[in-house]
Amino acid sequence: MSDDARRLKPVDVVIVGGGWAGSIMAKEMTEAGRSVVMLERGPDRSTASEGAYPASIDELEANFRYKLFQDLSKNTVTIRNNSQQTALPYRRMAAFLPGEGVGGAGLHWSGVHFRIPPDDLRMRSRVIEKYGARFIPEGMNLQDYGVTYEELEPFFDRAEKVFGTSGEPYMINGKVVGKGNVFSPSRSDHFPLPALKDVYTAHLFRKAAEEAGFHPYSLPAANASRQYVNPYGAQMGPCNFCGYCSGYACYMYSKASPNVNILPVLRQHPLFDLRAGCHVLKVELDADGRRATGVTYTDPDGKVVTQPAELVILTAFQFHNVRLMLLSGIGRPYDPVRNEGVVGRNFVYQNVTTSNVWLDRGIETNQYIGAGGGGVAFDDFNSENFDHGPLGFVGGSPVWVNQAGVRAIAAAHSGGPPGTPRWGSAWKAGMIDTYRHSLRIDAHGSNMAYRDVYLDLDPTWKDAYGQPLLRMTFDWKDNDIRMNRYVVDKIGDVAKAMGARRVNLTKREFGRPFDTRQYQTTHLGGGAVMGSDPGTSALNRYLQSWDVHNVFVIGANAFPQGTGYNPTGMVAALAYWAAHHIRTTYLAHPGPLAG
Amino acid sequence: MRGLAGIAACGTSLASRPARSHPPAPYVPRFFTPIEWAFLTAACDRLIPADENGPGACALDVPRFIDMQMDTPYAFGAQWYMQAPFVQGPDNLGYQLPHAPRDLYRRGIAGMNAHAATRHGRPFADLAPALQDDLLRGAENNRLVFGDIPSSVFFDQLLANVMEGAFSDPVHGGNTGLGGWTMLGFPGARADFMDWVDRYGAHYPLGSVSISGETA
Ligand SMILES: Cc1cc2nc3c(=O)[nH]c(=O)nc-3n(C[C@H](O)[C@H](O)[C@H](O)COP(=O)(O)OP(=O)(O)OC[C@H]3O[C@@H](n4cnc5c(N)ncnc54)[C@H](O)[C@@H]3O)c2cc1C
Ligand code: SF4
């Protein structure tokens, strides 16, 4: 394909994907004086057009016709629960919602913006230190990231300042300064903005969690609690809790997005060239497969062209990054039978379940009010914050009320309490009661990596360009189901303290397979993980391919296993971390940064 | 909001719709045939019946919404991955049929009417509400067999679109008079709660508003 492709003028850096990771890397590389081409398969997008009020406040278009999401008709994945099954195409959007277009999913995400718990970065070592190697279940590929919290801290700080994150700190430079998360590590500085106000349900949850003996804190949110100007000079307005957050471009310019926080500045830069409507087919390698020479893509006219570059940075989102590596022959594909090879290994998801609490009919929970990243959480059962010894499982789960705004069609679909019919007068009564007087509490748990849960290329189905779809082999495992069930029981304690009229605790059930039809999260991870052992990681600790040194791969694909937190704070910090090492070391001395 | 008489009439036929004080031109469906339209209006009113909690699907013009949706790329399956082969598998791996929403309606309505005819000798629209409910429940639980589509697939498609029609912005043709939002207590496109976020326990005083500025 590349032989007859048109060759364009070489550039220093080509970046594949225009989301958070791509925009951060492009900003950093232009600051380093390099010419950058950013290729985005979807359309160009901006808050001024996609976020224009009131046309943007349209639940049907945003959440049910997936206006801003990936065009599945062109490209999707296949999914199966185990390697004995035939994986089938993910034909309609449901379980997860990949983004597309300039800004990626960052244009319309929710904004919960976390740092990763330090223990999660060295999970394997930590579990062995605390409980011994035999504590790790058979078949679980538990790993360390190969980077520490102390090393990443400046980059978490950088990302929060760029995103304009609102939050309440607990500890700064070792001193307790506020009422933030008592389990969170020390910070070098405050959040750039104070925490968002609690919506009513979060306020009730905070009181009840305290009464139940837990340690509630304000979710760190990349939804600006006040007006803000970030270090690039980009401006944000104050979030008004509009309730149209997840799935929408923010008409208030309050939700951090590449489109608001980075691209307005980047677009002006003479070294930056953004090309929308350009779908990258593969990374081109030299004859011995050790160096990338550029990428081949289809341009908006459908012509196949090759863009030569010195450095290729993949930022196409977790599973698209893995697929591009497989399609290009970068790194050894994972073989689950022999547990060898690395590309596709350690594919993970988010182990989330949502429980419901009904309050007295005199209390209106106003679920339509909310900000995507706002809410109140407690971490008493997250990470290594509790003793797993007697419990016998690895991993944990924050618990929270994260009322991002529940809109009318979604409320109609959720209906009434379990046992209520899905239609007719009984549905109507149950749904109205539920909408007006209930709240939702999530257990947003980690998902561990397993030997037989992985990504590879599908043998049957192809995308619109004739390339094989990515195949996901995924199911929930006993360890993770037990973790979820343990933590969800704690929600029962909080609901009791809230004076609940009725509670529905939603737990993962043993033997019930992963269901692609139900929305969970778009927090997919792993598949091309970072680490210090080329035998178990596709990328070194700088997110550089072990095999092809001028390819860096930035995204949640780098997570060796899932965490209880949402991924983007970590993805952004890893982008700044990798960029720092590219700028300070790699550009002067191109070659492997670790070895 | 339309009166109860209007709601009842909706389930029978277009021609018998009573005139309102400012009679709008009756909606003429573009996609659905008269027989299909009769099914659709009858079924919608069973799925969301008018009752003490608020208007039914017909008063909210849900059938009109669905007919208008049939002209959008969504209804042609343009947003779904529709590449062959179509292999059936366990339910939890999701939809695997070659049919777009337009086909699902054509086949599903024919299937429902065929069942109504076999069991009761009349099309669905002409049955008593209890019999209509029985057939809908049969489809919901996949107990009816319709040629090449499982009846629950058709039912789920219909129910999803009915919910969308009753609760989406009126710009799409349903939720007439913002009746769906009002019964739910959803303020619609207000989208600004700066002053209300921490008024804990106080009743939100403003009614719903739509994208076009219509209020209720
Ligand atoms: C509704 C929703 C809510 C979310 N809420 C949160 C939250 O509250 N907190 C949180 O931490 N995370 C959240 N996330 C996840 C968050 O959006 C992602 O972690 C984040 O956007 C990832 O950034 P990225 O740059 O890696 O990928 P993306 O933002 O997905 O960007 C990747 C880009 O690459 C493009 N691309 C892919 N393949 C190609 C190709 N072959 N050629 C060219 N371009 C290509 C895509 O079109 C896309 O624009 C949410 C996601 C969704 C969908
Ligand atoms: S809730 Fe806040 S951040 Fe989210 S879209 Fe609305 S105004 Fe923007």
Do the Cβ atoms of B99 and B110 come closer than 8 Å?
no
Q: Hey, is the C-beta of B193 within 8 angstroms of any chain A C-beta?
A: yes
A176 three-state secondary structure: strand
Residue closest by Cα to atom 39 of ligand 1: A316
**Strand ranges (E), A222-344:** 228-229, 235-236, 272-276, 279-285, 292-298, 304-314
Q: Compute the average pLDDT of residues A208-221.
A: 98
Contact A408 B186 (CB under 8 A): yes
* Cα(A556)–Cα(A446) distance, integer angstroms: 13
Residue closest by Cα to atom 35 of ligand 1: A17
Q: In the predicted model, what is the mean pLDDT of chain A? A: 97
Q: Compute the average pLDDT of residues A516-540.
A: 97
Q: Compute the average pLDDT of residues A145-168.
A: 98
* Closest listed residue to residue A410, CA positions, set B180, B102, B104, B53: B180
Strand pairing report for A525-527 and A502-504: unpaired
CB contacts < 8 A (A, B) = 178
* Closest listed residue to residue B186, CA positions, set B166, B156, B200: B166
Residue B1 has a pLDDT of 33
Per-residue pLDDT of B135-175, as tens digits, reads 999 999 999 988 889 999 999 999 999 999 999 999 999 99
Residue B13 has a pLDDT of 40
* Cα(A249)–Cα(A256) distance, integer angstroms: 10
Contact B96 A88 (CB under 8 A): yes
Secondary structure of A242-272 as H, E, C letters = ECCCCCCCCCCCCECCHHHHCHHHHCCCCCE
Do the Cβ atoms of A31 and A210 come closer than 8 Å?
no
Residue B10 has a pLDDT of 57
Residue B87 has a pLDDT of 97
pLDDT band at A432 (very low <50, low <70, confident <90, very high): very high
Residue A446 has pLDDT above 50, yes or no: yes
Residue B22 has a pLDDT of 59
pLDDT band at A74 (very low <50, low <70, confident <90, very high): very high
* Cα(B116)–Cα(A566) distance, integer angstroms: 50
Could you say which residues of chain B have pLDDT below 70? 1-24
Q: Point out the ligand nearest to the CA of residue A197.
A: 2
Q: Compute the average pLDDT of residues A358-380.
A: 98
Contact B159 A240 (CB under 8 A): no
Tell me whether residue B198 is exposed, middle or buried, using C-beta atoms within 10 angstroms of its C-beta: 0 to 12, 13 to 18, 19 or more. Answer: middle
* Ligand 2 proximity of A372 Cβ (cutoff 6 Å): yes
**From B77, B81, B186, residue closest to A368, measured CB to CB:** B186
User: CA dist B170 to A298, A409, B139, B178, B181, Å?
Assistant: 39, 13, 29, 7, 10
A573: its two tokens: 């910090």
Q: Compute the average pLDDT of residues A207-215.
A: 98
At B178, give phi and psi (nearest 5°): 60, 30
The single-letter DSSP state of residue A539 is: B
Q: Compute the average pLDDT of residues A478-490.
A: 98
Residue A284 has pLDDT above 80, yes or no: yes
Residue B148 has a pLDDT of 84
Residue closest by Cα to atom 7 of ligand 2: A239
Contact A514 B92 (CB under 8 A): yes
Sequence length of chain A is 595
**Strand ranges (E), A463-553:** 468-473, 502-504, 525-527, 551-553
What amino acid is encoded at A160 in this protein?
Answer: E
Q: Hey, is the C-beta of B205 within 8 angstroms of any chain A C-beta?
A: no
Residues in contact with ligand 1 (CB, 6 Å cut-off): A 16-22, 39-42, 97-101, 104-106, 109-112, 246-247, 279-280, 315-317, 320, 372-373, 522-523, 555-556, 566-569, 571
Q: Compute the average pLDDT of residues A434-453.
A: 98
Contact A432 B184 (CB under 8 A): yes
Best residue among A37, A41, A261, A295 to mutate for probing ligand 1's pocket (most ligand atoms within 8 Å of CB) is A41
Which residues on adjacent β-strands are paired with residue A526?
A347
Predicted complex ipTM: 0.96
Q: Which atom of ligand 1 is nearest to the CA of A565?
A: 11
Contacts of A314 (CB under 8 A, 6+ apart): A16, A17, A283, A321, A324, A325, A551, A552, A553, A554, A555
* Closest listed residue to residue A459, CA positions, set A470, A451, A473, A449: A470
Residue A595 has a pLDDT of 80
Q: Hey, is the C-beta of B74 within 8 angstroms of any chain A C-beta?
A: yes
* Chain B residues whose beta carbon lies within 8 Å of the beta carbon of residue A365: none
Please give, rounded to a whole number of angstroms, the shortest distance from the CA of A70 to a CA of chain B: 9
Known catalytic residue: A523?
A: yes
Q: How far is the CA of B111 from the centre of ligand 2 (A)?
A: 45
Residue A486 has a pLDDT of 98
Secondary structure of B142-211 as H, E, C letters = CCCEECCEEHHHHHHHHHHHHHHHHHCCHHHCCCHHHHHHHHHCCCECCCCCCCCCCCCCCCCCCCCECC
Q: Compute the average pLDDT of residues A396-422.
A: 98
**From B95, B172, B197, residue closest to A369, measured CB to CB:** B197
User: CA dist A374 to A111, A217, A540, A557, B28, Å?
Assistant: 8, 11, 34, 26, 45
Contact B160 A413 (CB under 8 A): yes
* Ligand 2 proximity of A228 Cβ (cutoff 6 Å): no
Q: Which of A437, A523, A549, A581 is catalytic?
A: A523
Q: Hey, is the C-beta of B161 within 8 angstroms of any chain A C-beta?
A: no
Q: The domain at A6-586 falls in which architecture?
A: 3-Layer(bba) Sandwich (3.50)
pLDDT band at A176 (very low <50, low <70, confident <90, very high): very high
Residue A3 has a pLDDT of 55
Residue closest by Cα to atom 4 of ligand 2: A245
* Closest listed residue to residue A74, CA positions, set A53, A49, A98, A51: A98
Strand pairing report for A77-80 and A88-89: antiparallel
H or E segment and range at residue A444:
strand A438-445
H or E segment and range at residue B37:
helix B34-47
* Cα(A262)–Cα(A26) distance, integer angstroms: 9
Residue in chain B lying closest to A405 (CA): B191
Residue A2 has a pLDDT of 47
**Strand ranges (E), A69-123:** 77-80, 88-89
Residue A319 has pLDDT above 70, yes or no: yes
Residue closest by Cα to atom 3 of ligand 2: A255
CB atoms within 10 A of CB A84: 7
* Ligand 2 proximity of A222 Cβ (cutoff 6 Å): no
B54: its two tokens: 């608020």
